[in-house]
Copies of this chain bind each other. A is one copy, B any other.
Amino acid sequence: MFEPEGRRVEVEAGCSIFKAALRGGVGIRTECGGKGVCGKCKVVVPNRKAVGKITKAETSYLTPNEIDSGYRLACQASLIEDSTVFIPEEGRIRARKIQMAGFERPVMLEPLVKKFYVTLAKPTLSDPKPDYERLIQALKERHGFGSLNIRHGVLKKLPSILRSADWHVTVTVWDSREIIAVEEGDTSSKILGLAIDIGTSKIVGCLVDLTTGKTLSLGFIENPQITYGEDIISRITTSASDEEKLKLLQQLLADGVNKVLEYVGIQANVAPQNVYEVTVVGNTVMHHFFLGINPKYVAVSPFTPAIRRPVNYRAEELGIKACPEGNVHVFPVIAGFVGADAVADVLASGICESRELSLLLDIGTNTEVFLGNSEDALCCSCASGPAFEGGHIKHGMKAVSGAVESVSIILEEDCKVSYRTVDNAAPIGLCGSAMIDVVAEMFKHGIVDERGSFNLNIKTPRLRKSDCGPEFVIVWKRHSGTGRDIVVTQKDIREIQLAKAAIFSGCWILMKRKNAKLKDVDQLLIAGSFGGFINPENARLIGLVPDVPNEKIRFVGNTALSGAKMALISAEARKKAEMLSRNIRYLELANDPDFPKEFADAAFIPHKYMERFPYVKSLLNGKKTKN
C-alpha cells in the first residue's frame, strides 16, 4: 500500500519497492532509474520486518537518522511481506497539489493535556496507603490537585508501573480531571497532540508539540473510504441500511487517521502512544462516519445531524492508536451541510472576533459560506457540486500533476491560449481553477455570452461543433499528454454556471438577511485547499463571488486544520469553537423563499443584474469602449 496515494499494489516477494511503485503507477522520484546511484527515491517503511536488509547504497545516501526513522531507498529495499510504504514529499512525483496548512492565528498555549512528574514515598506496613491514593497525594502536595478520575486502562497497570519505575512516574492529566496515562520516569517534556482534518477525499494531519504549540510535522493520505465511492453520497448509500458497512466505513476512517498519525510520528520521531489528544474536524458526514453514526439522515431533508455539540471519547473507543486512554475531541458541527471543518475555518479565520464584516467561503462540492463579525454571524451551505473538483466536466480532473491550472486566452493573433499545468507536466485535463479562468476569459472575449452560450460567430478553429454540441479547444492534441485535444464543452460551461450560481446566491442571500451591501463587506476570505489556486479577478468576473475589490480578497488555505490545531493547543479556542457552533445562525437555502429566483439570476455571467457587479461592469464597459 503506497501512501499518501492510497494505492495497493500486489507483487511477488523480493520485488523492490521501486518496481512495485512503477507497476502500480505510483510516482517515485529518481534520476538514475532505480540503479541505486542517485539517492532520490527515498521512502519510509514503518514495518522494518517487511523489507530486506539495508544495502551499501542506502548507507551512503541516507543519514543514520533517516535510517533510524525507517527511511529506505525504494530501488534498494525489497519487499518481503505486506507493508505500507510512505512516499515523503521529497520523493514524490505527480504529487497532488494540496495545501495542508492554512492561515494560523496565534493562541495562548494552554492545552488540556498536562504532565506532572512526581516521586512517591514507597508503601510500608505503617503507611500501606493504596497506589492510587498515594499518587493523588503526591499530585496534591506538589501540584495542588484534588481528586482525579483514573481511566480503567491506566488503573489496571498502575501497580506494576509504579513499582517498575521505583515510584518515579509522570502522570498525564486531561482537562484537570482524568488521569489518562502514567509513565515510568520523567517524560514530562514529551506531550504531543494531533490535529486531523478528515475530508471526503483526503485526511490531513498535523503533529503538534503541546509544550510549545509548534507543528512538528504534517502529513496526509487519500481518504481510504474512496474505495466506496469518490463522492460522499455513494458512501452514505453504502452504509445507509447495512450496519456492517457502516462499521467498515468507520474503521476505514480510523485506519486513515492512524496512518497519518504513524506517518507524522515517523517524521518527528515520536511514538503514537505519546500522542495524548487528537482534535478532529471534517464535514458533517465524515464527522458522523468517524463517530460510527449512520449519516443517512444528514443526506435527506431536513438534513439533521445526530449531534451538534463537540464530543470527547477515548482514543481506544474510536479505534485511534494514540495513547489508548487519550482523548479524541471531535469538533462541533453547525448543520448537516455546515460541518466541523467549517466551524474550524471560522475559528481559525477569526472572523467572529473582529468588528469587520467578513464573508468566508470554503469551496467544495458543498460550499460553506459565513457572513458575520464579532456581533453576529450567519451561514449557509451551497450545493455547488463537483464541477470545481473536475466532476461532470468532460476533461475535468483534480489538481494533480498534469492538470491545467490556469488559462488565459488572447483572441487576437489567431486565438492563442496559454496555460500552466501542475508540476509543468504535459497537460492531461482541466482542474477547477482552470475552468474558472476558461469561463472568465471566454466571457471577456465574447466567446460565450452572459447566458453562457457559445457565440458561434467567433471565427477560430478552436471553437468547433462536435456530436455533443459546440466546444472550445484549450490544448491541441499535439501538446497534450493524452494524445487528444483538451476541450471545454457547452455542457461544461453550464456546469460551471450552476456551481457558481449556487455559491453566489448563497452569499447574496446571507448579505440580504444581514442587510449588508457589497461595500459593507470588509473582507472576503477563501478557505480550503482549492481556494489558493484560483484567480480572484476571474472568480469575480464570472460571478462566483461577490464583486468586492481584489485587495479585500484573501486566500487563507486549509484553515480547517488550523482550527483543529488551535483547539488542540488552547482550551479557550476549544470553548470558542463550541460557542461558534451554537451562536452562528444557520440558514437553510432549500427553505429560503428567495433562493430559486436568486439562483436563476446568478446563473448569468456574472449575474442577471449587472449593478451587483460594479467592478466587472466597469471592466466590461472599459473593454467595450476600448474595442
Q: How far is it, in angstroms, between the C-alpha of A538 and the C-alpha of B260 when the chains are bound?
A: 73
Q: Which residue of B lies closest to A588 (CB)?
A: B125
Please give, as numbers and ranges, the residues of chain B lying within 8 Å of A317 by CB-CB distance: 152
Please give, as numbers and ranges, the residues of chain B lying within 8 Å of A318 by CB-CB distance: 152
Q: How far is it, in angstroms, between the C-alpha of A301 and the C-alpha of B122 when the chains are bound?
A: 12
Q: Which residue of B lies closest to A317 (CB)?
A: B152
Known: A128-B335, A291-B152, A297-B163. A158 touches B306 (CB 8 A): yes
Please give, as numbers and ranges, the residues of chain B lying within 8 Å of A302 by CB-CB distance: 123-125, 127-128
Stretch in contact with the other chain, from A129-137, A183-191, A388-396, A515-523: A129-137
Partner of A306, one of B155, B304, B305: B155
Does A159 belong to the interface (CB within 8 Å)?
Answer: yes
Q: How far is it, in angstroms, between the C-alpha of A296 and the C-alpha of B158 when the chains are bound?
A: 12
Does A145 belong to the interface (CB within 8 Å)?
Answer: no
Known: A160-B294, A294-B160. A307 touches B150 (CB 8 A): yes
Partner of A159, one of B130, B293, B588: B293
Please give, as numbers and ranges, the residues of chain B lying within 8 Å of A36 by CB-CB distance: none
Q: How far is it, in angstroms, between the C-alpha of A591 and the C-alpha of B133 when the chains are bound?
A: 21
Q: How far is it, in angstroms, between the C-alpha of A127 and the C-alpha of B301 when the chains are bound?
A: 11
Does A292 belong to the interface (CB within 8 Å)?
Answer: yes
A 472-516 to B, binary, CB cutoff 8 A, 1 in contact else 0: 000000000000000000000000000000000000000000000
Q: How far is it, in angstroms, between the C-alpha of A238 and the C-alpha of B152 when the chains are bound?
A: 22
Q: How far is it, in angstroms, between the C-alpha of A155 and the C-alpha of B310 when the chains are bound?
A: 12
Scoring A126, A147, A293, A591 by chain B CB atoms within 10 A of each residue's CB, the highest score goes to A293
- Contact across chains for B133 and A307 when beta carbons are under 8 A apart: yes
Please give, as numbers and ranges, the residues of chain B lying within 8 Å of A297 by CB-CB distance: 131, 159, 163
Could you tell me which residues of chain A, from 585 to 609, have a CB within 8 Å of some CB in chain B? 586, 588, 590-591
Could you tell me which residues of chain A, from 348 to 389, have a CB within 8 Å of some CB in chain B? none
Please give, as numbers and ranges, the residues of chain B lying within 8 Å of A156 by CB-CB distance: 291-294
Does A451 belong to the interface (CB within 8 Å)?
Answer: no
Partner of A155, one of B123, B293, B301: B293
Known: A124-B302, A125-B591, A294-B160. A311 touches B130 (CB 8 A): no
Please give, as numbers and ranges, the residues of chain B lying within 8 Å of A131 by CB-CB distance: 297, 304-307
Does A576 belong to the interface (CB within 8 Å)?
Answer: no
Determine how close the nearest CB of chain B comes to the CB of A189; give it in whole angstroms: 28
- Contact across chains for A130 and B591 when beta carbons are under 8 A apart: no
Partner of A309, one of B127, B133, B591: B133
- Contact across chains for A155 and B335 when beta carbons are under 8 A apart: no
Determine how close the nearest CB of chain B comes to the CB of A158; give it in whole angstroms: 6
Q: Which residue of B lies closest to A586 (CB)?
A: B128
Please give, as numbers and ranges, the residues of chain B lying within 8 Å of A19 by CB-CB distance: none
Determine how close the nearest CB of chain B comes to the CB of A320; give it in whole angstroms: 12
Q: How far is it, in angstroms, between the C-alpha of A147 and the C-alpha of B312 when the chains are bound?
A: 14
Partner of A128, one of B163, B294, B588: B588
- Contact across chains for B130 and A305 when beta carbons are under 8 A apart: yes
Q: Which residue of B lies closest to A307 (CB)?
A: B132
Please give, as numbers and ranges, the residues of chain B lying within 8 Å of A591 by CB-CB distance: 125-126
Does A435 belong to the interface (CB within 8 Å)?
Answer: no
Supplied contacts A125-B590, A128-B335, A129-B304, 18 more A-B pairs, CB within 8 Å = A123-B304, A124-B302, A125-B301, A125-B302, A125-B588, A126-B591, A128-B304, A129-B308, A130-B333, A131-B307, A132-B306, A133-B307, A155-B307, A158-B293, A158-B307, A159-B296, A159-B297, A159-B306
Could you tell me which A residues sit within 8 Å of B by CB distance?
Answer: 123-133, 147, 150, 152, 155-156, 158-160, 163, 291-294, 296-297, 301-309, 311, 313, 317-318, 333, 335-336, 586, 588, 590-591
